[in-house]
Structure 1
Amino acid sequence: MPRHNRSGEYADTPGDTMLAGHFHETDRYFIGRPEGRDDWLIVMTLSGEGYFRTPAGEKRCPAGQIAILRAGIPHEYGTMPGQQWNFFWAHFGKLSETSYLPEEEVLVSELPEGETRKRAYRAFRSLLRDSRERSAYWQALFENAIRELLLLVAQRLEKRLDPRIEQALQFLSQNMQEEIRLERVAAAVGLSSSRLSHLFKQEMDVPILDYLNGMRLRQAALLMRHMGRSATEASLDVGFNNYNHFAALFRRMYGVSPRGFSNSR
């Protein structure tokens, strides 16, 4: 039985195309472009697994991963044998953010579970909507969503943190205003408290509580400097319930009291 090639649906569109879609394909799905294309392709696998073959070899793209195929590269891609491939895709012209990526024919990057993956999913949903509706300013909105995806991948490659530590950082950021105990963070990332504590210090060079306090203090300083919040208001905004504790940590970090910092703006 011949493999199914859906390339006719969009292969003849010109370079610098802005086009997005969502496919759910069996292992008959196959796209072959021996001459490559003039634009870039970005794919996010939702479930199942796909593959990409270029002159440099083959790379697989399972669930939770993004693949970025550079312009002008001869290639073929499709669903892995025995699998189904559920994925978002988008074609786009070269953007300045592509310079942040390594010079690979096709780059595959894992997105850790949590906010990063959700953010990428939302960006693809926006691409799909803008590509279909093409209402006012859709091209600028489409480009912005692509830029966000490229930066998320570049950020992921730059950090190269253990995925569980990335999840922990996302958890701290999202819950900064609440009382956070080590046990709660550990449960959120599927580790024991002792293992998380050791791994976090190994990856981030500081204990998890020190990192959380630093995050809170930096946010408090920004709120006082740019949002007109008082020292007391800022301390509560970022999750400190004890002002004296907040003030002592703030002075240690910035060399001035919170009120002195607030009054100096």
Structure 2
Amino acid sequence: MIMDSAKKEVKYTEIEKYSCLEFLRKNSVELYLNYCGKETCPPSHTYGPASRQEYLLHYVIDGEGTFIANDTTYHLKKHDAFLIFPEEITTYTADSSYPWTYVWIAFDGIKAWECLEQAGFSKAKRIGHFHRETKLIHCIETILASHELTYYNELIRESQLFSFLAILIQEYQESTANPEENLVLPQQSYVDYAITFIENNYQKEITVQDICSHVGITRGYLTHIFQQSLHTSPYEYLLGIRINKASSLLKTTSLPINQISLMVGYHDALAFSKIFKQKTGISPRAFRSSSNTLVLSDKKNL
């Protein structure tokens, strides 16, 4: 879900041993960047107990520390990655003798969990081990260097989020003992087929039943496999695509709102405006007129 991030100004902090870009506008429903950073922690530095609204992944570049989630303590070192789930209370602490240096990246969206699963993470498996350190650091540093709020930099930041996740996925799948685990399941083929149909037809007045008829399965089964694969319903996915496309058109064109409404499958502009506000917390007109500003800071978060 896209929320009104215009209420917070984008903040970029760069001081000795710490840099962070945060409060980025959520301009997609599929996969979007919230914030990222890099820090060399002082001995025994602790963050938490705290919770987040998005997925947050840390990757340890050097040193050691501990991560506590669900009453389980993990002892981590160089090349380890640890995952924090949305709304989960966690604490992590740098070692007192050999404190860690790490990068972090926070993201969310319909495809976020699918990417994490493909990289080997699960509710039971919170820790990953990845050795492509140089490439992962490069992604984070490129995002941080692209902190100015231009459309060009927005595309750079988005591409580096995709690259970061792709690097994790590739390394995990190449190291998987049983390659058959990475084969596409028949039900995933149905999901992919449905997604393709949605992306090619969202601008029409299609319904979930139209999707089922095209794929050739029942509504109940389609809902089941969407929940398993994407953790959302076919209706919410269709709605998300429409809101995402509408958001892009509102920001990149001067087309009238009623025309944008038609272009994303709504023949009733009032109904479109109502559902847009329900999903984003802001009206189409207000979304179009809102703008991000960048705050440069010399003070880090806790």
Indicate the TM-score class for this superposition, using the shorter chain for normalisation. Answer: 0.3 to 0.5
Higher Rg of the two aligned structures: 1
Q: Structure 2-normalised TM-score?
A: 0.42
Which structure is higher in RCO with an 8 Å CA cutoff and minimum separation 6?
2
